[in-house]
């Protein structure tokens, strides 16, 4: 079960995350105010990014289509925004 981030599920809210691909399991941790997302997917062809998007959407309690990547397509540091 991912960490509960429903308090961030407001339209226009940006969420900066640090991604760790090829982790042993999918999970979200909030450490010192920073959101860290661990996914089992490999970082090729956007697989890890899509896994992060899906995990974030579940933690936010919104549809996956409402979580859009705005920065960091090929970076470990990504910024997502919650759309309407």
- For residue 1, tell me if it sits in a domain: no
Domain extent for 75: 6-82
- For residue 16, tell me if it sits in a domain: yes
Give the CATH number, domain containing residue 76: 3.30.1200.10
Q: Are 67 and 53 in contact (CB under 8 A)?
A: yes
Number of domains in the chain: 1
* pLDDT for the residue numbered 4: 84
- For residue 75, tell me if it sits in a domain: yes
- For residue 47, tell me if it sits in a domain: yes
- For residue 13, tell me if it sits in a domain: yes
* pLDDT for the residue numbered 28: 96
| Full-model pTM | 0.91
* pLDDT for the residue numbered 49: 96
* pLDDT for the residue numbered 2: 54
Block mean pLDDT (10 aa), the chain, length 84:
82 96 96 93 95 96 96 96 95
């Amino acid at each position: 079960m991912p960490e509960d981030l429903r308090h961030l599920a407001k339209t226009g809210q940006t969420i900066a995350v640090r991604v760790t691909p090829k982790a042993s399991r999918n999970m979200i941790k909030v450490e010192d105010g920073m959101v860290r997302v661990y996914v089992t997917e490999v970082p090729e062809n956007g697989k890890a990014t899509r896994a992060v998007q899906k995990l974030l959407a579940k933690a936010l309690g919104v549809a996956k289509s409402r979580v859009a990547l705005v920065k960091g397509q090929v970076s470990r540091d990504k910024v997502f925004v919650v759309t309407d």
